[in-house]
Amino acid sequence: MKELKTMNFAFVGLGLMGGSIAKAIKQNVFESGTEVFKIGTCPAATSDSEKTSGKIFAMDVNEESLLKALNDKIIDERFSPLETDEMLEKADFVFICLYPKATLRFLLEHKEAFKPGSIVTDISGVKTLIAEKIFGEENSTSEKATQNGQSSVWRDDVDFILGHPMAGNEKEGYSGSDGKVFEGRNYILMPQKSNREENLCLMRELITKLGIKRIIETDYKTHDHKIAFTSQLCHVIASSLVDSAEDDKITAFGGGSYEDLTRIALINAPLWTELFLSNRKELLSMISSFEGSLSKIKNAIETENAAELNSILKSVREKRAEMGKI
């Protein structure tokens, strides 16, 4: 059984998310004295204090980020884009922390460079785009589907695990990264038939060490459906709410609600443009559904229907209170 502490981690992209994960791994895997623990049916690690400690590598187009991370003693070695394959050959656990399309492109372009037996994971906020190209038209709840003629293009000896940490902040780049952003958050895994149970165990163990509260395991289509609502729709709403403000002095009249609803409108425009368009159908359907609820409330206000309005708000309060319990 592999042990996290002895593995070499590699980051493809050391921005906000890559930097945050690298910091959390540095602190919680390499620096903490916590014992490796057994989760569910995972095999116990073979204790061997003689083993060499693993390292953290990173590649990024931004050399300054790499130098800063080296200086922060978060990474042990930096690689330029041209040295990518050299890094991948030495890495046991690769985190691809790029935008969705770039993640797919990277996987396909560097497929042959990954070390045999290594674990590769991504953090992309949309999955169908990537999963259908890599694994073929399969999802974890159905048999290997071939009706569209697509089948897996992935290597059997490199285990690619689809993952999505539901955390972040409104900053950008390595300088905004923070190893604490995962504490108390959700992490979604979309295990595929090809994933090895041993590697999924290691992935779960690593995620737990990041401080994550809950690991959700689902298929990638469900992921894209749910995320269209909890994440993308919220960013669309927050952006609309800022766009519709009559001026940028409005927060002088704020009581916290407007500020809370629009914090995520401090948005990374190119990333979210790509996320919105990559999950277009699901997102459009969620926007329509939200518009329906908004219309219902608007209509009760327009017609001065106090009983109806009170009844909607009462059931909303109950539903939201229920949500707080899980």
Contact positions with its own copies (CB under 8 A) in 245-304: 245-246, 248-258, 260-270, 272-274, 276-277, 280, 283-284, 286-287, 289-294, 296-298, 301-302, 304
Place of tokens 């502490």: 5
Q: Does 102 bind its own copies (CB under 8 A)?
A: no
b/e map 195-205, b = 16+ CB within 10 Å? beeebbbbbbb
Place of tokens 């909607």: 312
The helix (run of H) or strand (run of E) holding residue 231 is: none
Among 102, 111, 185, 208, binds its own copies (CB under 8 A): 185
Residue 229: CB atoms within 10 Å: 16
Q: Is 223 left (phi over 0), alpha (psi -120 to 50) or beta?
A: alpha
How many residues belong to the site for its own copies (CB under 8 A)? Answer: 89
Minimum distance, C-beta of residue 207 to its own copies, in the bound complex (Å): 14
List, in sequence order, the alpha helices (H) in the chain: 16-25, 63-71, 84-90, 100-109, 128-135, 197-209, 220-227, 234-243, 257-262, 269-278, 280-302, 306-323
Minimum distance, C-beta of residue 44 to its own copies, in the bound complex (Å): 29
Site for its own copies, residues 108 to 147, rule: CB under 8 A: none
Minimum distance, C-beta of residue 59 to its own copies, in the bound complex (Å): 26
Q: Does 196 bind its own copies (CB under 8 A)?
A: no
Of the candidates 140, 139, 160, 161, which has an alpha carbon nearest to the alpha carbon of residue 148? Answer: 139
Contact in structure between 130 and 124 (CB atoms under 8 Å): yes
Minimum distance, C-beta of residue 309 to its own copies, in the bound complex (Å): 5
Q: Considering only 2-10, 111-119, 197-205, 234-242, which stretch makes contact with its own copies by CB under 8 A? A: 234-242
Place of tokens 């909303």: 316
Among 167, 203, 206, 207, binds its own copies (CB under 8 A): 167
Minimum distance, C-beta of residue 223 to its own copies, in the bound complex (Å): 8
Q: Does 183 bind its own copies (CB under 8 A)?
A: no
Among 111, 166, 173, 194, binds its own copies (CB under 8 A): 166
Residue closer to its own copies by CB (options 153, 306) is: 306
Residue closer to its own copies by CB (options 102, 234) is: 234
Minimum distance, C-beta of residue 299 to its own copies, in the bound complex (Å): 10
Residue closer to its own copies by CB (options 146, 240) is: 240
Residue closer to its own copies by CB (options 63, 172) is: 172
Of the candidates 15, 2, 12, 9, which has an alpha carbon nearest to the alpha carbon of residue 177? Answer: 15
Q: Does 40 bind its own copies (CB under 8 A)?
A: no
Backbone angles phi, psi at 298, to 5 degrees: -60, -40
Minimum distance, C-beta of residue 228 to its own copies, in the bound complex (Å): 10
Q: Across the strands, what pairs with 186?
A: 166, 214
